[in-house]
Structure 1
Amino acid sequence: MDVADPTWSDERLVAAAREGDAESLAALVTNAHPHVRRFARTLCATPEDAEDAAQEALIVLYRKIGTLRATGALASWMFRVIRNECVRRARLALRPVPPAGESLVPSAEDEMFRRLEGARVAAAIAALPADQRRVLVMRDVQGLSGRMVASTLGLSMPAMKSRLHRARAVVHRRLSEPVGDGDDG
């Protein structure tokens, strides 16, 4: 099935699925699957995350097709679901794991700041171009060696290092920007 193939999200098929037609819904999920997987692979850091994100998107499609407002918006809706799932998975990978047997309960204020900072980091990473994002997540989040990242992505070591350097610089610059007006008066 071609990416430019408009029949996978044919408006009549989508409309029938929205109305509860089981055959149309099954056809829609089947037709969307290759496109969803392909898009997830470009956004998620690992093939496993991409498969999980694609599956999650298809589950959302199956369960919530009736909530779709415009039949022509299916592709953008699906891709937004995938993007959000890939970002969620990147955030989980960034979350520190407490040492075994230690259950520290942070204060509500500490938890709020941690979540805000995590959201800022995830947003900065998600805003990177796909080629830089993949290198950064694989190297800095997943901790893969530079050689492994380069090999997995089919890059030379200098190309991988260059993308990683650019990605780190952009993320650092975004995180160094002021969050906003924090003054209460």
Structure 2
Amino acid sequence: MPVSDADLVAAARRGRDLAFEQLAVRHSPALRSFLRGVCRDHAIADDMAQDALIRAWQRLDQLKEASAFKSWLFGIGWRLASEERRAAGRRLRRETDWSGVQKQARPDGVAPEEAMALEDAMAALTADQRACIALCLAGSWSHAEAAAALDMPVGTIKSHIKRGRAKLLAALGDET
């Protein structure tokens, strides 16, 4: 039976570094993927994920509900991404230009043209919409989990998903 996040958090709070390392190994791939989708620059996203893990370790005593570690960690990552976006808006826009975007892996059966069209359509969304779509539609998170991670009301999450999905469908030519 796998050890729960709550058990690992409790052990980490008691000074067991290995417990926090297990939390990091468990959640860092999804955190990196989420942040890559939000900020669209892999190097910056990877740095933010690392920073989020360091902040989580340093502030583990501030986590109110040990079982909510994942959404708390993603919330830290989201706030780091938001800070980066505000602090480096011009640089971020320049770096997300198509010429600077690294080719991303695409699922089997997706043509390169379709992947590029989806990237372009996602880039046209606001960062909040991209984050909500990445978590709820692509990541299968519940609205409540996304709301906790992004520190937004559930209704706002739903609005961002509805508007973002509509923009994506329009950009990709789906009239349904």
The equivalent of 2:125 in structure 1 is 167
Q: Give the Å deviation of 1:75.
A: 0.7
The equivalent of 1:57 in structure 2 is 52
Change (3 A) 1:8 1:81: farther
- Of 113, 120, 125, the residue aligned with 1:156 is 113
The equivalent of 1:38 in structure 2 is 33
SS in 2 for 1:152: coil
Change (3 A) 1:21 1:95: same
The equivalent of 1:78 in structure 2 is 73
Alpha carbons 1:49, 1:89 under 8 Å: kept: no
Q: Which amino acid aligns with 2:125?
A: A
**1: CA distance, partners of 2:26 / 2:120:** 38
Alpha carbons 1:36, 1:82 under 8 Å: kept: yes
Q: Which amino acid aligns with 2:43?
A: E
Change (3 A) 1:78 1:156: same
Q: Give the Å deviation of 1:9.
A: 5.3
Change (3 A) 1:32 1:167: closer
Q: Give the Å deviation of 1:74.
A: 0.5
Gaps of 5+ in 1: 1-5, 97-136, 172-185
Q: Which runs of 4+ in 1 moved over 6 A?
A: none
Size of the aligned set, in residue pairs, is 120
1:19 and 2:14 correspond:
yes
- Of 85, 88, 94, the residue aligned with 2:83 is 88
Question: TM-score normalized by structure 1?
Answer: 0.51
Gaps of 5+ in 2: 107-111, 130-176
SS in 2 for 1:156: helix
More contact order relative to length (CA 8 Å, sep ≥ 6) = 2
SS in 2 for 1:83: helix
Instruction: Compare CA radii of gyration and give the structure with the larger one.
Output: 1
1:48 and 2:29 correspond:
no
Alpha carbons 1:43, 1:86 under 8 Å: kept: yes
**Cα deviation code 1:2-55 (max 9, x no counterpart):** xxxx95852211122123333322332333322322222222220111111101
**Cα deviation code 1:34-92 (max 9, x no counterpart):** 23222222222201111111011110121111111111111111111111111211222
Change (3 A) 1:64 1:165: closer
Question: TM-score normalized by structure 2?
Answer: 0.53
Change (3 A) 1:20 1:66: farther
**1: CA distance, partners of 2:123 / 2:18:** 49
With 30-39 and 154-163 compared, the bigger mean Cα shift is at 154-163
Change (3 A) 1:92 1:72: same
SS in 1 for 2:15: coil
